[in-house]
Amino acid sequence: MYFQDRYLSEEQRMMRDTSRQYVDNVVIPFIQQNRLREWDMDPNARLAPNILEQAEAAGLRALCVPDRFGGIALDPASQSQTMAIIATELARGDSGLADKLVQNWKISVLIAQFAPEHLQEYWFTRYMNEPQFLMAHCLTEPHGASDRWLPYNVPEINMDTKAVLEGDEWVINGRKQFISNGFDATLYVVYANTDNSVGMQKGTSSFLVPRDTPGLEVTNCNETIGGRFMNNGEIVFDDCRVPADHLLVLNDALGKAGIYFRPGKVLVAAKSLGIGVGAYEETVKFVHDRVQGGKPIIQHQAVALRLADMATRLEAVAALLRHAALAVDENSPDADALCNMVKVFASHEIVKVCEHAMELHGGYGAMLEVGIEKYMRDALINLHSDGTSDVSNFKIVRAMFPETSGKYAG
């Protein structure tokens, strides 16, 4: 089911198997050992360090790091497809952990593409030597998120975060919120306005900002309903100065980030699918073991109908995911529409899959010690990641009908 061998290259099959072993041997035992651990209100205490160390050992942190720095550079012709396969496997174990690693992969792609060679060498070397090293992508601000995704492209709605070149340093001021890995990242990619005379599509730049830069302060870990092993954070930049060479893309950062945005949506869908697969697998076991009315509940018709519905939705998500990931890798004209379609479709379908899992587990579905409710909480997070469903649907229509669609902003 889902990513069957017939769809995979030899390399993808090996990576899927490695990820699955890591999840079965390391991640799932860790999650099952103490289901209350995700509720520890000390964000630093939630995930045991050995989980990322073992991910490192399995090669899962090195994806998208150029091979000259010891990474595993994926074939660009199938990069999004391969990342989707691995993210699905990881989210089957824990979607927060999958998110931690997915952010690292996506930002590695950006750094490899846009950072000068000496910074690539410095940061990739550190990244490869520090298993707990995380990266974060800072776009969203208190006063602007959907406006950024659409984008609402007029000067009045530019980013509040500003960067000004003073001598040989960029000075950054502003605030970013809801940032995945934002609480515990070592390195941030920050988007800031650099030209207020134009809209954000032509006036937004991106920067590499190390966590220990004076003026950068992590002000909060946002406690979330799901994906709780990824620490979402809030960051303030107060006269935060980075050397001029830390500029990644001048003024066209949103356009150039296409290499990141499209795979990003595919990966949200992949994480959704992984959550759904986990919920389904647990449900399959339960309906065979649980006896009511004198027989295993799978033999009750209503249970069978729900199980069939779960499996069908998972197959449909997996099929669209493969199709969208291929379109992104091929950079085909329908890639924009498809990557948004699969993000929206997968997130809603998997919530329905989790609803069936909850129903079929009866009262057990509501118990923290059992863990079925965790799948539902983790699934809900993906409805809003990388843009809300409504905003993503606007983007689908705009991609399909560029001449006649509305702007859907302002």
Ligand X SMILES: Cc1cc2nc3c(=O)[nH]c(=O)nc-3n(C[C@H](O)[C@H](O)[C@H](O)COP(=O)(O)OP(=O)(O)OC[C@H]3O[C@@H](n4cnc5c(N)ncnc54)[C@H](O)[C@@H]3O)c2cc1C
The residue ranges that bind ligand X (CB under 6 A) are 137-140, 145-146, 149, 178-180, 224, 227, 232, 381, 384-388, 390-391, 408-409
- In the complex, minimum distance from the CB of residue 122 to ligand X, in angstroms, rounded to a whole number: 23
SS3 state at 207: strand
- In the complex, minimum distance from the CB of residue 276 to ligand X, in angstroms, rounded to a whole number: 17
User: In the complex with ligand X, which residue's Cβ is closer, 78 or 340?
Assistant: 340
- In the complex, minimum distance from the CB of residue 410 to ligand X, in angstroms, rounded to a whole number: 7
User: In the complex with ligand X, which residue's Cβ is closer, 88 or 181?
Assistant: 181
Give residue number: closest CB to ligand X.
Answer: 145
Task: Name beta bridge partners: 391.
Answer: none
- In the complex, minimum distance from the CB of residue 367 to ligand X, in angstroms, rounded to a whole number: 24
- In the complex, minimum distance from the CB of residue 408 to ligand X, in angstroms, rounded to a whole number: 5
Distance CA 360, CA 368 (A): 16
User: In the complex with ligand X, which residue's Cβ is closer, 32 or 219?
Assistant: 219
Vertex 184: Cα angle to 192 and 58 (nearest 5): 115
For residue 235, CA distances in Å to 136, 219, 250, 384 come to 11, 6, 22, 20
Dmax (CA) for the chain in angstroms is: 79
* 401 Cβ contact partners less than 8 Å away, ≥ 6 residues apart: none
Distance CA 23, CA 281 (A): 14
User: In the complex with ligand X, which residue's Cβ is closer, 7 or 408?
Assistant: 408
User: In the complex with ligand X, which residue's Cβ is closer, 26 or 379?
Assistant: 379
Vertex 113: Cα angle to 182 and 239 (nearest 5): 45
- In the complex, minimum distance from the CB of residue 116 to ligand X, in angstroms, rounded to a whole number: 24
User: In the complex with ligand X, which residue's Cβ is closer, 26 or 185?
Assistant: 185
Alpha-helix residue ranges (DSSP H) falling in 204-334: 253-256, 258-289, 301-330
Vertex 323: Cα angle to 320 and 328 (nearest 5): 120
CB neighbours of residue 136 within 10 Å: 27
